[in-house]
Amino acid sequence: VTILSGVQDGLTLGTPIALLVTNRDARPDEYAALTAIPRPSHADFTYAAKYGIRSQSGGGRASARETVGRVAAGAVAERMLACEGVTVTAWVSSVGEIETGAVDAATVTRDDVDRTAVRCPDPGAAARMEALIVQTRAEHDSLGGTVTCVCRGVPAGWGEPVFDKLDACLAQAMLSIPAVKGFEIGSGFAGTRLRGSQHNDAFCLRGGRLGTVTNRSGGVQGGIANGEPVIFRVAFKPVASIGRPQETVDYEGRPVCLETRGRHDPCVLPRAVPVVEAMAALVLADAALLQARMAFGRPAGPS
Amino acid sequence: VTILSGVQDGLTLGTPIALLVTNRDARPDEYAALTAIPRPSHADFTYAAKYGIRSQSGGGRASARETVGRVAAGAVAERMLACEGVTVTAWVSSVGEIETGAVDAATVTRDDVDRTAVRCPDPGAAARMEALIVQTRAEHDSLGGTVTCVCRGVPAGWGEPVFDKLDACLAQAMLSIPAVKGFEIGSGFAGTRLRGSQHNDAFCLRGGRLGTVTNRSGGVQGGIANGEPVIFRVAFKPVASIGRPQETVDYEGRPVCLETRGRHDPCVLPRAVPVVEAMAALVLADAALLQARMAFGRPAGPS
Amino acid sequence: VTILSGVQDGLTLGTPIALLVTNRDARPDEYAALTAIPRPSHADFTYAAKYGIRSQSGGGRASARETVGRVAAGAVAERMLACEGVTVTAWVSSVGEIETGAVDAATVTRDDVDRTAVRCPDPGAAARMEALIVQTRAEHDSLGGTVTCVCRGVPAGWGEPVFDKLDACLAQAMLSIPAVKGFEIGSGFAGTRLRGSQHNDAFCLRGGRLGTVTNRSGGVQGGIANGEPVIFRVAFKPVASIGRPQETVDYEGRPVCLETRGRHDPCVLPRAVPVVEAMAALVLADAALLQARMAFGRPAGPS
Amino acid sequence: VTILSGVQDGLTLGTPIALLVTNRDARPDEYAALTAIPRPSHADFTYAAKYGIRSQSGGGRASARETVGRVAAGAVAERMLACEGVTVTAWVSSVGEIETGAVDAATVTRDDVDRTAVRCPDPGAAARMEALIVQTRAEHDSLGGTVTCVCRGVPAGWGEPVFDKLDACLAQAMLSIPAVKGFEIGSGFAGTRLRGSQHNDAFCLRGGRLGTVTNRSGGVQGGIANGEPVIFRVAFKPVASIGRPQETVDYEGRPVCLETRGRHDPCVLPRAVPVVEAMAALVLADAALLQARMAFGRPAGPS
């Protein structure tokens, strides 16, 4: 990554930071065969429908390669958040039907996560995930899964009411990541099966301030952080690019059997972890800057 | 609702439409007891933490009463979308553990939905939901559930790439609704358990244009509508206001047993249906207006 | 004005403040004759060209009556600015060819301004302006003029670089006021005739911090406030509505002689003063909130 | 300029166009002496006040070098506008006290403008401007002046009501250019001295549609283009960097005599012409895209 502007001697100048990453490993000829055929569950067709023109170099802006910019920007956001004591940690919580055992969201660290190649802090589950990925690759097929993310140290008060709720902004950020099909915060979909008396997070006094005994809210109430860990889960569909032949049609509607090559990963989950972290950090940094406005006319700082 | 501006003789003037709904049924004295105690899983505490001041009239902006503005604005958006042949239909797909049987997303209508008091187009499930709601009310408890929404006729091409993907904007819109804890589009969380070869939506020729054989994408690929129905599901937590006593603490951290009164609905799902529809319509209308820019320099209209 | 939301017992709740002013004195029948004829130098024609429909009630959104909302919102902004010691004072600096004598921008107050009916703090000029307005009204004609505005106490640092410079935002705000045709800050157009050696504002030490000896910059350098008074001037064209007959054409292009009635003020300048002040206050309040972000991660407040 | 993205084989892809211009001629050592002294009427002091840190490489973002990005982006906007038959032409209308004679805004071309080194289409005035610039350079001093710009072919209807009026957006865009201190459209400040009966633009039938006999409105009424040429004038202060010694103070408030070197142009006016054109083109392209929304639900295109 090249820093084009905004930084001098390791300090930000208060002006936009432009980061440039050059794609040195493009192989457009691998995509040449795809000029006539929209890949199933890819964005080839929808970009063509929208713009009337398609990039010839693979997925164009719909390629997951664009996430490098998110991760680079997220690194800057994380430095900002660190000033406020906020940390963001994500991990692979499922691959296909394999789920992690218990992960303690209050203590899990990035080191714990990075200890396994699949970025799952439960070593047993990680081993099974890895085996499944190897097997699926051999079958020229692909896998989906989920990433769980916890943001600790988020001060009570971050997040805006009504339309730009903190969880709403996180949802948009996560759904903007390629291949994401779902988002849930706190108790999420499973919580819909509970009664209110089972689900409510009672308040308690903890460390001199109000906390909640449980955290089914996922750290957000009414769109505003309540000081508990913000915890959410993101669903990634199985990778659309597979080596197996697929019966589909070309842009003219003629039946074809598509066999793609190219470098396709059978499971993006491990690589999705830093993208989820980066997008969460960017949302939190935005919330922090908006909340800093509350400092207006007050003697003390934002938090 | 009073129309303050923007409409004349049934036609819009091209200028903002201001709609005013007066809350004629506020009962602030019912909330007087809550001045000292933040209600569990409500936004009382977070609003106080954010603003340092709280509205004395119940939930303030965190009250679900604010959704009346969403529904009123959504009605205008739906009129716009009707010009393009786009319809939006939502229904209650689960209450607690009771789920609807099969609902045909290709044909279900608002009349089908409104036929039962719980707004579930499956009469058998509707009857069981209703019985559960009655029973839960008697137990002074509350229920959660899910709403499913289908948007038919959305032209291929609506939705923006990268950050403002159509599904990302829908996710934000849905998570901005009070009590929502999750969003999934197409195959959603269940799709994470499939292989790519099972999940991909092959293309086919249908009615002279490209469609997809299946619709696990939920009508969106790469953030852009592909012309298939846009279908998604929204998770609502159980209502936080319950009649049962709750052990919690007051703003000073002193243990209290909270017994709330007020008019609390044990299940908001039926009333959430038009809110989900309205927010979906607003997102689609925004996408339509953005897409209309593509008409620039072209002889024909936006779709 | 009715306050619909956002205020409780004289304190803001941190949520949007909605203000409603009902137009109790609309006389649409006075405008009935104008259905077929676009008034010269009014917005009738352009609104029709843009929207394909026109409001039947006079100028619609192009009526200067919309400025009541600006003034009401500006009053809130001024309360915010008062916390930071910022004041905004405007006055009529010319009517037609009559200009004020010297007004001391460092000390002039709203009381000084409001002492004369034309809101000009120079009593001699005010008397001549008033006589000219009376005479012009008798001639069924109208006048233009200029308003000068000074914002004192603006802290060095307010304003954003490049596109949203403080003076650029003020320019937009002023040109958004009906009938405004020009904006200049500091030395403005007259300054274009000076040499750099005559124009530059040398720095000096004043009250323990850097100030400038002169203020040809008008308090802004590089788009950012420098701590000196922000001073600018706004040009208002003569009122377009006049009682004299005007040779023009109707919407069909047929020659007509237009004689308008209605209540038309021959000179809006005195009434434009609070509008200019309000818009300046709104721009400064926005700048203040943006600058408050700089408090992020710092122990002290925004200024 | 390097095109990083958004263009393929001479066609835009509908995605953002990133343009990179590398500053190959930075001479930071020329600015080393300025670390302790804020240059009068430069942004050194205000950037330091805002950010608490200053770029060491000259003006940083306040350097007029940033305008290269505006001109590059403006070139793209002009290509868009050409599809609608819109042209933008600016010229130097004054340098110091020397003004152009009559320039026919209805016919003047960029070729006419570029015929002289000072970009003034009146050859006599151009010669006098050039002589004045040469003389002023010899005196180590600098000059200001004005640029006039005409946008022809703007369709009636472009521009938004109330806050984002077309002229308001042009005013912001122009004031955002370094060294600009004023903006006026149509009759501008001079028009404030006329009576309404002298100033109003009567309508007439021209080429089958409504036009105006005169154009004191400068092509905009009520913030919306009326189909006449949009014509405005921009004031540039004399260049702040001069070779003459200046009595000022350093950041500590100590008196110093500042003698700057570096490559300083005594008059930026000729080089400001393409910047004014570029910013006007960007504003018009934005207005065009917003107006394209009006195509929604209509059979025909935007204009």
Q: What is the pLDDT of residues B42-95, one digit of tens each?
A: 999 999 999 988 777 667 788 889 999 999 999 999 999 999 999 999 999 999
Residue D165, CA distances (Å) to C65, C178, D149, D157, D283 in order: 16, 10, 18, 11, 11
Q: What is the pLDDT of residues A78-129, one digit of tens each?
A: 999 999 999 999 999 999 999 999 899 999 999 999 999 999 999 999 999 9
Phi/psi of residue D19, each to 5°?
-120, 135
- SS3 label, residue B175: helix
B63 and C CB contact within 8 Å: no
Q: Are D66 and C216 inside 8 Å of each other by CB?
A: no
Question: In angstroms, rounded to a whole number, what is the distance separating the alpha carbons of residues D214 and C246?
Answer: 13
Q: For residue B297, give every residue at least 6 positions away whose Cβ sits within 8 Å of its Cβ, in sequence order, or none.
A: D80, D83, D84, D301, D302
**In the predicted structure, residue B126 carries a pLDDT above the cut 50:** yes
Q: H helices within chain A, ranges in order? A: 44-51, 67-83, 110-114, 123-138, 166-175, 188-191, 196-199, 269-292
CB B150 within 8 Å of CB B234: no
Question: In angstroms, rounded to a whole number, what is the distance separating the alpha carbons of residues D124 and D142?
Answer: 21
**In the predicted structure, residue A301 carries a pLDDT above the cut 50:** no
Confidence band of A53 (pLDDT split at 50, 70, 90): confident
Q: Among partner residues A11, A20, A61, which is closest to D53 by beta-carbon distance?
A: A11
Question: In angstroms, rounded to a whole number, what is the distance separating the alpha carbons of residues A191 and A31?
Answer: 44
Q: What is the pLDDT of residues D122-139, one digit of tens each?
A: 999 999 999 999 999 999
Q: H helices within chain C, ranges in order? A: 44-51, 67-83, 110-114, 123-138, 166-175, 196-199, 269-292
The predicted pLDDT at position A61 comes to 84
In the predicted model, what is the mean pLDDT of chain A?
92
Question: In angstroms, rounded to a whole number, what is the distance separating the alpha carbons of residues B88 and B11?
Answer: 22
| ipTM of the shown complex | 0.96
Report the range of poorest mean pLDDT among A258-272, C48-62, C169-183.
C48-62
- SS3 label, residue B290: helix
- Higher-pLDDT residue of D282 and C102 is D282
The predicted pLDDT at position C292 comes to 86
The predicted pLDDT at position A263 comes to 63
The candidate with the shortest Cα–Cα distance to C287, out of C153, C174, C169, C186, is C169
**In the predicted structure, residue C217 carries a pLDDT above the cut 70:** yes
Averaged pLDDT for residues A143-147: 98
Q: B200: how many CB neighbours lie within 10 A of its CB?
A: 29
B92 and D CB contact within 8 Å: no
Q: What is the pLDDT of residues B27-39, one digit of tens each?
A: 666 666 678 999 9
The predicted pLDDT at position D23 comes to 84
Confidence band of C24 (pLDDT split at 50, 70, 90): confident
Q: What's the token pair of residue C103?
A: 């007004």
DSSP letter for A205, please. E
Q: Among partner residues C47, C235, C246, which is closest to D222 by beta-carbon distance?
A: C47
Residue C89, CA distances (Å) to B70, C69, C94, C96, C233 in order: 40, 19, 16, 21, 12
Question: In angstroms, rounded to a whole number, what is the distance separating the alpha carbons of residues D199 and C269?
Answer: 16
Question: In angstroms, rounded to a whole number, what is the distance separating the alpha carbons of residues D216 and D220?
Answer: 9
CB D201 within 8 Å of CB D214: yes
Question: In angstroms, rounded to a whole number, what is the distance separating the alpha carbons of residues C296 and A81?
Answer: 10
Q: Are D168 and C168 inside 8 Å of each other by CB?
A: no
Which chain B residue is nearest to residue C56, measuring alpha carbons?
Answer: B8
Using a CB-CB cut-off of 8 Å, the residues of chain D touching A54 are 13
Rg (chain D; Cα; Å): 21
Three-state secondary structure readout of C276-301? HHHHHHHHHHHHHHHHHHHHCCCCEC
Phi/psi of residue C132, each to 5°?
-65, -40
Q: Give me the helix-helix angle, C166-175 and C269-292, nearest 10°.
A: 150
**In the predicted structure, residue B17 carries a pLDDT above the cut 50:** yes
Q: Are A51 and D11 inside 8 Å of each other by CB?
A: no
Averaged pLDDT for residues A1-7: 92
**In the predicted structure, residue A281 carries a pLDDT above the cut 70:** yes
Q: Are D167 and C175 inside 8 Å of each other by CB?
A: yes
Q: Among partner residues B14, B80, B295, which is closest to D295 by beta-carbon distance?
A: B295
The predicted pLDDT at position A295 comes to 72
CB C260 within 8 Å of CB C266: no
Per DSSP, what are the bridge partners of residue D235? Answer: D146, D182
Report the range of poorest mean pLDDT among B181-185, C55-59, D292-296.
C55-59
Averaged pLDDT for residues A242-262: 91
Q: What is the pLDDT of residues C234-278, one digit of tens each?
A: 999 999 999 999 999 999 999 999 987 666 789 999 999 999 999
A82 and C CB contact within 8 Å: no
Q: How far is CA D217 from the centre of its chain?
A: 20
Q: Which contacts (CB < 8 Å, 24+ apart) does range A202-209 have? A: A202/B40, A202/B246, A202/B247, A202/B248, A202/B249, A203/B38, A203/B40, A203/B45, A203/B248, A203/B249, A204/B248, A204/B249, A204/B253, A205/B249, A205/B253, A209/A156
The predicted pLDDT at position A58 comes to 62
Mutate to test the interface with C, among B7, B61, B63 (most CBs of C within 10 A): B61
D296 and C CB contact within 8 Å: no
Q: What's the token pair of residue A59?
A: 């997925």
The predicted pLDDT at position C298 comes to 56
Q: Which chains touch C (3 or more CB pairs under 8 A)?
A: A, B, D
Confidence band of D302 (pLDDT split at 50, 70, 90): very low
Place of tokens 């038959």: D85
The predicted pLDDT at position C300 comes to 40
Confidence band of D274 (pLDDT split at 50, 70, 90): very high
Q: Are C289 and A300 inside 8 Å of each other by CB?
A: no
The candidate with the shortest Cα–Cα distance to A143, out of B196, D280, D98, is B196
Q: H helices within D58-210, ranges in order? A: 67-83, 110-114, 123-138, 166-175, 188-191, 196-199
Using a CB-CB cut-off of 8 Å, the residues of chain C touching A161 are 15
Averaged pLDDT for residues C37-66: 87
Q: For residue B184, give every residue at least 6 positions away whose Cβ sits within 8 Å of its Cβ, in sequence order, or none.
A: A181, A182, A183, A184, A189, A235, B232, B233
Question: In angstroms, rounded to a whole number, what is the distance separating the alpha carbons of residues B110 and B99?
Answer: 19
D36 and C CB contact within 8 Å: no
Confidence band of C302 (pLDDT split at 50, 70, 90): very low
CA–CA min distance C183, chain A (Å): 28
The predicted pLDDT at position B70 comes to 97
- What is the DSSP code string of A12-71? E-SS--EEE---TT--GGGGGGGGSSPPTTSSHHHHHHHHS---SSTTGGGSGGGHHHHH
**Run of H or E including B291:** helix B269-292
In the predicted model, what is the mean pLDDT of chain D?
92
The 10 Å CB-count burial string (b at 16+, else e) for A121-151 is bbeebbebbbebbeebbeebbbbbbbbbbbb
Place of tokens 């010009």: B83
Q: What is the pLDDT of residues C77-88, one digit of tens each?
A: 999 999 999 999
Confidence band of D58 (pLDDT split at 50, 70, 90): low
Report the range of poorest mean pLDDT among A13-27, A152-166, B105-119.
A13-27
B212 and A CB contact within 8 Å: yes
**In the predicted structure, residue D34 carries a pLDDT above the cut 80:** no
Question: In angstroms, rounded to a whole number, what is the distance separating the alpha carbons of residues B77 and B285?
Answer: 6
**In the predicted structure, residue B234 carries a pLDDT above the cut 60:** yes
Averaged pLDDT for residues D225-229: 98
Question: In angstroms, rounded to a whole number, what is the distance separating the alpha carbons of residues B212 and B225?
Answer: 12
The 10 Å CB-count burial string (b at 16+, else e) for C95-109 is bbebbbeebebeebe
Q: Are C289 and A293 inside 8 Å of each other by CB?
A: yes
DSSP letter for A285, please. H
B11 and D CB contact within 8 Å: no
Q: Are D300 and B301 inside 8 Å of each other by CB?
A: yes
CB B275 within 8 Å of CB B147: no
**In the predicted structure, residue C303 carries a pLDDT above the cut 70:** no
Q: Are B84 and D298 inside 8 Å of each other by CB?
A: no
**In the predicted structure, residue A2 carries a pLDDT above the cut 70:** yes
Please state, for a pLDDT cut of 70, what percent of chain C lies above it.
93
Model pTM?
Answer: 0.96
